[in-house]
Chain A
Amino acid sequence: KAGVTQTPRYLIKTRGQQVTLSCSPISGHRSVSWYQQTPGQGLQFLFEYFSETQRNKGNFPGRFSGRQFSNSRSEMNVSTLELGDSALYLCASSLTSGQGGQETQYFGPGTRLLVL
């Protein structure tokens, strides 16, 4: 079974631009979570989508948004990029939304975004 895929893998943008990242979950998985990871900050939760609905949202400004399509693929968008948005953006998929607690998240390889 293919794993979680993310595109693009690397991206360079300039301040003020916007960017869209894509995530395709493992086949059959309906939940997709997005994280931002910067050196020394650990994994910062952005949001989670399940069946096209946002179920959870982290403490990020409104410039960060996402959506999920009927085939469970997800995109996240960052508008008006800032230098501090440079990070590794990770997508993780799980079978369901985690209710009941035992769902495991599987990560994609990440998209490394550099904002100049």
Chain B
Amino acid sequence: QKEVEQNSGPLSVPEGAIASLNCTYSDRGSQSFFWYRQYSGKSPELIMSIYSNGDKEDGRFTAQLNKASQYVSLLIRDSQPSDSATYLCAVRGESNYQLIWGAGTKLIIKP
């Protein structure tokens, strides 16, 4: 059973600080990794995708991938109250069409 694990939280971070969200996966052949943000009552929206080991930056967001350790993380710099949401990690294997989803981490940014 291929799994994606996330700490459910809530993770509470002061405004302006760095929020760090982590995700581990069991399928060593996984090739594609996605972070989605979901506000309460809304549908998930894509924040970032990452396919290669290392860091990928997009504005205040940085995704980090370490395939040897089978984890992917999302850093949010200068956290804002509007970043308060549930963050979902999704992983796709090498030959599997299906995305495997983590249960999500609830992030709370305190003003």
Contact = CB atoms under 8 A, between A and B. Distances in A.
| B is bound to A | yes
A51 to B, nearest CB: 12
B101 A43 contact: yes
A104 B97 contact: no
Interface in A66-109: 88, 90, 97-99, 101-109
Interface residues of B, number: 25
Contacts of A55: 97
A42 interface: yes
Interface string A38-82: 000111010010100001100000000000000000000000000
A25 interface: no
B102 A109 contact: no
Interface in B16-68: 31-32, 34, 36, 42-46, 49, 51
A88 B38 CA distance: 13
A102 B43 contact: no
Nearest to B104: A42
Contact of B46 (A31, A41, A106, A109): A106
Interface residues of A, number: 25
B43 A97 contact: no
A55 B92 CA distance: 14
A101 B51 contact: yes
Given A98-B92, A101-B32, A102-B51, A107 B45 contact: yes
Nearest to B91: A101
Nearest to B92: A101
Given A101-B51, A102-B51, A56 B97 contact: yes
Interface of A: 31, 33, 41-43, 45, 48, 50, 55-56, 88, 90, 97-99, 101-110
Interface of B: 31-32, 34, 36, 42-46, 49, 51, 88, 90, 92-99, 101-104
